[in-house]
A and B are shown apart, each in its own frame.
Chain A
Amino acid sequence: MDSFLSAFFSGTAQGAIYALVSLGLVLVWRGAGVVNFAQMGQAMFTTYIASQLIQNNYSYWSAFVIALVSGAILGAIVDLGLMRPLMSRKNSQLLNSQSMRTTIPVIASLGILGVLKALAGILWEGEERGFPSPVPANAVTIGSTNLAITSFDLFVIGVVFLALVLTTIFFTKTGMGLAMRASALNPEVTRLSGIRVGSVRTLGWVISGTASSLAGLLVTPKTNLSPNTLDLLLIIGFTAAVVGGLTSLTGSVLGGFIVGYVIAFVNVYSAPENVFIAILVFLLLALFFRPQGILGSKEVRRV
């Protein structure tokens, strides 16, 4: 029972982080038709910025906020500086090919990932370093009994919950959120109704950059920070997004938690070295049996 509870709680906390990553991927995929493989590279970079600030005696929370803002800025830079010029090259023969239109942005995002990793290596020497958390990783106690959850896990769950509530309010109650949902559904019609689809798309990159930056800040107290540490988080987030359907925001969050539990239970009841294989198997199963995801809609092929 104890191991079950500890798997459940760590699954919830890790799943919350995966949900953020998955949400970031789905936002950009829906808005721009790009799976951004550089997403966690951006997060790695902003977490290094926070780490640098904390070393220079900034408080944790000011570093936290600056990292989120840099995540937003980085997202905007990637879209405006790279993806938009790339997708607007309509005359290029390579982009006229159906398969290349999805392949070229993937390659571009891998280029960004490579550049960000190399830059982080140059600026921060590439050595693995710790990253602080604002709360200790002690088990929470009620009376004299130790619960199977640490106060850090609770902190993570709380912060992600807050972020998800804010995102939900944004998408359901604000005009801008509505515009984003509309332009993901049908960009042409949205443009005709007077919404600047381009700016809306950039906003998707901005929110995605912020969400993944938050994920980086929340995961590194446990994993430490190096140019490569967040690679694993990207493929887990991708798996979560596929499980959720890649087109549904709610699905992406659910997918994050599902993958979180799968990994936590494999960790506790099997062995940590099985995690990679478990992710691969889980992803393949999801693709075979439910390629449209738990909440995604079936793909309609347009000519």
Chain B
Amino acid sequence: MQFGPYNQSQLANIATLLIAVLSITLLTGASGQISLGQGAIMAVGGYSSALFVTRLGISMWLAFVLAIVASALFGLILGLAAARLSGPYLAGTTLVMALAIPSIAVRFESFFSGDIGLSVDYGYPPNWLTNLIGEISIEEWSLYVVLPFAALALFAVLNLSNSRSGRTWRAVRDNEVSAALAGINIARTKVIAFVCASALAGLAGALYGFRGLVAPSVYPTDLSLTLLTAAVIGGLRSIGGAIFGTFVIVFLPDLIERLTKNLAIPETISNYLPALIIGVLLLLTVILNPKGSAGALEHIRHHRKQGRH
């Protein structure tokens, strides 16, 4: 199989979504706060970067940085509210947000251009790059834009989870009372986790929008749920799991389509088959193996080690 433009844009897609899934690994996996609205925070990042580029004409790179800042600020406000909320309240509130935020774009149509959205893209590769490595396609260029950000996000999340903050977050996640007794400021810890996760989601949203369009339909409620599904299937507490989960949600629909193409399955079934299989996969993960694929792998390794002794 050749690594053509289609695969390049798909890989760029994976790298972008990975950043968003990592935000859930951070928020839910490490700090124990659930969000059903990461897609809405992606929208905040997407819209702010698109507005900076289209209205103020600043460079794409600076717009990405500003998108991170904007969504981190948004996360701060949200986190201040969220720190007061426990599991189900937080889940419901973020779900309402996931539905309400895109509708703001429709409500203030003159500013956000409504359902039509703002069209932005990665543009053409700059001259210095084409001089260096020759002509490259738009798809390849988008991949080059996204990959460094994804690497940076991976690096940041890895560092964060192994640092003092990461340990503090996990203490709060596992038992708030004992964490408070150990001198941890619960509310502040939760808010900081929310800000970090929102910054990541906002960056992902900006990169996601620059595939061509920033519009309410690009950040639907289902996106939030898909991201959560990826994080859970892979394993909420593992970075490797986040990578695996992202691959699953991007490739599984493709794979199913390829497998069922030759079977005479009516369109109504094949349209909904990926959603059905991913839903079943999510349920099986939660029931049989709540630590996700990463947890299962660890389990197997652990047993092998024990077997050798």
Task: Tell me the A residues contacting B by CB distance below 8 Å.
Answer: 29, 34-35, 37, 82, 85-86, 89, 92-100, 102-104, 106-108, 110-115, 117-119, 121-122, 125-126, 231-232, 235, 238-239, 242, 246, 273-274, 276-277, 279-280, 283-284, 287-288, 291, 299, 301, 303
Query: Could you tell me if A92 and B96 are in contact, using CB atoms closer than 8 angstroms?
Result: no
Q: How far, in angstroms, from A104 to B28 measured CA to CA in the complex?
A: 10
- Which among A100, A107, A112, A113 is the interface contact of B173 at CB below 8 angstroms? A100
Closest residue of B by beta carbon distance from A34: B88
B173 in contact with A122 (CB, 8 Å): no
State which of B6-14, B56-64, B278-286 sits at the interface with chain A.
B278-286
Interface status of B136 (Cβ within 8 A of chain A): no
Decide if A110 touches B96 in the complex (CB within 8 Å): no
Known interface pairs A283-B93, A287-B81, A287-B89. Does A303 touch B177 (Cβ–Cβ under 8 Å)?
A: yes
Bound-state CA distance A176–B237 (Å) is 42
**Contact (A291, B84) CB under 8 Å given A106-B34, A122-B268, A279-B100:** yes
CA distance A34 to B81 in the complex (A): 21
- From B178, which residue of chain A is reached at the shortest CB distance? A303
B152 at the interface (CB under 8 A from A): no
Stretch of B41-49, B102-110, B119-127 at the chain-chain interface: B102-110
Contact between chains at B96 and A115 (CB < 8 Å)? no
A94 and B288 alpha carbons, distance in the complex (Å): 12
Give the docked Cα–Cα distance between A239 and B94 (Å).
12
A107 touching B276, Cβ below 8 Å = no
Q: B96 — which chain A residues lie within 8 A by C-beta?
A: 235, 238-239, 279-280, 283
Q: Let me know if B225 and A114 touch, CB within 8 A.
A: yes
Classify the interface of chain B: helix, strand, loop or mixed.
helix
Cα–Cα distance between A235 and B225 once the two chains are bound (Å): 15
User: Among A97, A108, A121, A239, which residue has its beta carbon within 8 angstroms of that of B272?
Assistant: A121
Which chain B residue lies CB-closest to A85?
A: B287
B275 lies within 8 A of chain A by Cβ: yes
**Residue from the list A100, A115, A287, A301 in contact with B280, Cβ < 8 A:** A115
When the two chains form their complex, are residues B279 and A111 in contact, meaning their CB atoms are under 8 A apart? yes
> Within 8 Å CB of B229, what residues of A?
110-111, 114
Distance of A112 Cα from B287 Cα, bound (Å): 12
Task: Determine the distance from Cα of A287 to Cα of B88 in the docked complex, in whole angstroms.
Answer: 13
**Chain B residues in 8 Å Cβ range of A113:** 279
With a cutoff of 8 Å between Cβ atoms, the chain B residues found around residue A246 in the complex are 88-89
Distance, CA A119 to CA B275, complexed state (A): 9
Residues of B in contact, count (CB < 8 Å): 54
Q: Contacts A110-B36, A284-B93; is A82 near B174 (CB within 8 Å)?
A: no
Cβ–Cβ contact A102 & B282, under 8 A: no
**Given the interface contacts A85-B287, A121-B275, A126-B271, does A280 sit within 8 Å of B100 by beta carbon?**
yes
B271 surroundings in chain A (CB, below 8 A):
121, 126
- In the A-B complex, the 8 residue pairs with the closest CB atoms: A102-B87, A99-B32, A114-B279, A118-B276, A121-B272, A35-B88, A115-B279, A280-B100
Chain B 260-293 interface residues, beta-carbon cutoff 8 Å to A: 268-269, 271-273, 275-276, 278-280, 282-283, 286-287, 290-291
B73 interfacial contact with A, CB 8 Å: no
Contacts of A303 in B (CB 8 A): 175, 177-178
Beta-carbon contact of B81 and A242 below 8 Å:
no
Q: How far is the CA of A122 from the CA of B277 in the complex (A)?
A: 12
Q: Is B91 an interface residue (CB 8 A)?
A: yes
0/1 string, B120-156, CB within 8 A of A gives 1: 0000000000000000000000000000000000000
For B279, list chain A residues within 8 Å (CB).
111-115, 117-118
Query: Which B residues touch A126, using CB under 8 A?
Result: 268, 271-272
Cross-chain contact B275 with A235 (CB below 8 angstroms)? no
The answer to whether A112 and B283 have CB atoms under 8 Å apart is: yes
Closest CB in chain B relative to A115 CB, distance in Å: 4
Given A99-B32, A106-B34, A111-B286, are A284 and B268 also a contact pair (CB < 8 Å)?
no
Interface pair B286/A276, CB less than 8 Å apart: no
Supposing A114-B282, A121-B271, A287-B81 touch, asked if A273 and B28 sit within 8 A by C-beta, the answer is: no
- Quick check: B86 and A121 within 8 Å, CB to CB? no
- Within the assembled complex, what's the spacing in Å between the Cα atoms of A217 and B228? 30
| CB of B98 to closest CB in A, whole Å | 9
Give B212-254 as 1s and 0s: 1 = Cβ < 8 Å from A's Cβ atoms. Answer: 0000000001000100110010001100000000000000000
Given contacts A29-B88, A104-B290, A111-B282, 10 further A-B contacts (CB under 8 A): A37-B36, A106-B36, A108-B287, A119-B276, A122-B273, A273-B107, A277-B100, A277-B103, A291-B84, A303-B175
B-chain residues with CB within 8 Å of residue A92 when the two chains form the complex:
290-291
Question: B106 to A103, Cβ gap below 8 A?
Answer: no
The yes or no answer to B95 lying at the interface (CB within 8 A) is: yes
Residue of B93, B106, B271, B290 contacting most chain A CB atoms (<10 Å)? B290
Residues on B with beta carbons closer than 8 Å to the beta carbon of A235 = 92, 95-96, 99
A51-B270 Cα distance, complex, nearest whole Å: 23
Residues of B within 8 A of A93 (CB): 291
Report the Cα distance A85→B289, complex, angstroms: 12
